[in-house]
Amino acid sequence: MKTQCRHGHDYTEENSYISPAGKRQCRICRAERAKSYREEDKLDRELLALEERKQLRDKRRVLLEGLKEEEEDKRSLAASEEENQRVREERVADAHDRRWERGPEWKEEKEQRIAGILKAAREKAEAEIEAPS
Ligand SMILES: [Zn+2]
């Protein structure tokens, strides 16, 4: 019968533990094993908590980056709409200025053009009324 455990502890009566299966175990080793397990378990939990915190931070960062990108998209969209509006207004103003530069005739031309359109419309309407049904 062995007098020492694998770690060199004496199998005295007080240091011997008989397991339910009838096996003799060293009490010092049992205690140390349990302590070592608790330490390892604590370390694992700490590492897990750190990993979870890191994952949360990463998730938060991704979310923030997504929000930032969305904001930038909205800003650039608003900017391009503003730019389009500005270009449209400029084009209308330029066209008006070009007509204005031609002198007072453009106003007359415009009135004549409108009068022509109205006359054609009236004639068309009259022709429809007079047409035999
Ligand atoms: Zn031992």
> Ligand 1 centre and the CA of 14: distance in Å?
12
Q: What is the pLDDT of residues 13-31, one digit of tens each?
A: 999 999 999 999 999 999 9
Contact between 25 and 16 under an 8 Å Cβ cutoff? The reply is yes
> Ligand 1 centre and the CA of 97: distance in Å?
103
Structural domain boundaries of the chain?
A: 35-130
Q: Which helix (H) or strand (E) holds 24?
A: strand 24-26
> Ligand 1 centre and the CA of 47: distance in Å?
29
Contact between 111 and 118 under an 8 Å Cβ cutoff? The reply is no
> Ligand 1 centre and the CA of 33: distance in Å?
9
pTM of the predicted model over 0.75: no
- Confidence band, pLDDT 50/70/90 cuts, at residue 101: confident
Q: What is the pLDDT of residues 50-99, one digit of tens each?
A: 999 999 999 999 999 999 999 999 999 999 999 999 999 999 888 878 87
Tokens at residue 28, please? 């010092």
> Ligand 1 centre and the CA of 8: distance in Å?
6
> Ligand 1 centre and the CA of 10: distance in Å?
7
